[in-house]
Structure formats: C-alpha cells, structure tokens
Amino acid sequence: MTASNRDDEKLKSEIRLRFHQLGQRFTQEREALLAVLLTTDRALTPQELYEAAQKSETVGLTTAYRIIETLTRIGFAQVILINGELRYRLCSPTHHHHMVCTQCQKVEEFAECQLEGLDYGSFHPTSHRVEIFGLCEQCQKGSS
C-alpha cells in the first residue's frame, strides 16, 4: 500500500467517523461519491460528481448535493468559485490555500501562509482564505 493509499484510507476513516458522530449512515452511494472525490485533483460541480459516481454505483443527484454539503460543513471539503461556477473539492482539514487552474479546474493545496502574524491594527481577523487563479503547467503547454 502506497503512502497516498494510506492517506486516503485514513481520510476515509475520519470522514466515516464524523458521519457516524452526526448520526448519518455511510451508504454505498456515499462510498461511491467519496471514491470519486478521492481520485480527482479537480474541483467538481455536484453534477460532475454525480455523473462520475454513476459509473460504479447507482447514485442520486440529491445524495451528491447532501454529501458535499456535509463534507463542507465538517471541514473536509471546500467550495471554490471558478469562472462563476461553484465547485467542490476534498481538502485536508489543516490550514492551507489553493492554486486553481481556471481551464481544467485542477486545484493544488499549499500550506505556506504569510498572512498570519501580520499587524492588522484594531481589526481582529478570525479566518482567511487565499485562492490563486491561473493556468496549471499542463494547460500552459496546451495553450502555447
């Protein structure tokens, strides 16, 4: 088992536990949706998530919306606005930011943050998000 597979299994276990703590069963449909989210580096719309999961399991579109809503609420997914469209991605629960390709919707996390420790005067920030939009290396090569 690779480190990535171990990380995915650990993340799946943490997500299942949180669903259980919320009194929600982790059904076959939810397993199929989570498998899609774990195997993509793109931010997906609920429709795209639904369509990808349909390849392995009969899944309802409402279930796709519900799992995204729950994963976002419990901190395992984030919504990203790309080209006017709300897209979702599994994220690490630790503090991080995103680099987002506006062409293929690939999202990369980065942890380096220069915003913490700045002097904000009398303003007291409680959180922040940084999303950097542009073209990933592969899309740059394709548009040359």
- The pLDDT of residue 3: 45
- The pLDDT of residue 129: 83
Percent of the chain with pLDDT over 90: 44
Question: What is the average pLDDT across 113-120?
Answer: 80
Residues listed for the chain: 144
Class of domain 3-90: mainly alpha
- The pLDDT of residue 133: 92
What residue ranges of the chain are covered by domains with CATH 3.30.1490.190?
97-142
pLDDT tens for residues 5-19?
668 888 889 999 999
Better pLDDT: 101 or 127: 101
**Ordered DSSP codes for 2-46:** -HHHHHHHHHHHHHHHHHHHTT----HHHHHHHHHHHT-SB-B-H
Better pLDDT: 26 or 144: 26
- The pLDDT of residue 2: 43
Question: What is the average pLDDT across 96-123?
Answer: 86
CA 81 to chain centre: 12
Q: Is 109 helix (H, G, I), strand (E, B) or coil?
A: strand
**Ordered DSSP codes for 79-103:** EEEETTEEEEEE--SSS-EEEEETT
**Number of Cβ atoms within 10 Å of the Cβ of 98:** 18
pLDDT tens for residues 66-108?
999 999 999 899 899 998 999 999 887 777 888 999 999 998 8
Q: What are the residues whose beta carbons fall under 8 Å from the beta carbon of 4, sequence distance 6 or more?
A: none
- The pLDDT of residue 5: 61
Tokens of 120: 């904000």
Class of domain 97-142: alpha beta
Which neighbouring-strand residues pair with 88? 44, 79
Report the number of secondary-structure helices (H) and strands (E) in the chain.
Answer: 5, 5
For helices 61-73 and 46-53, the axis angle rounded to 10 degrees is 120
What residue ranges of the chain are covered by domains with CATH 1.10.10.10?
3-90
- The pLDDT of residue 94: 77
Location of structure tokens 């395992």: 76
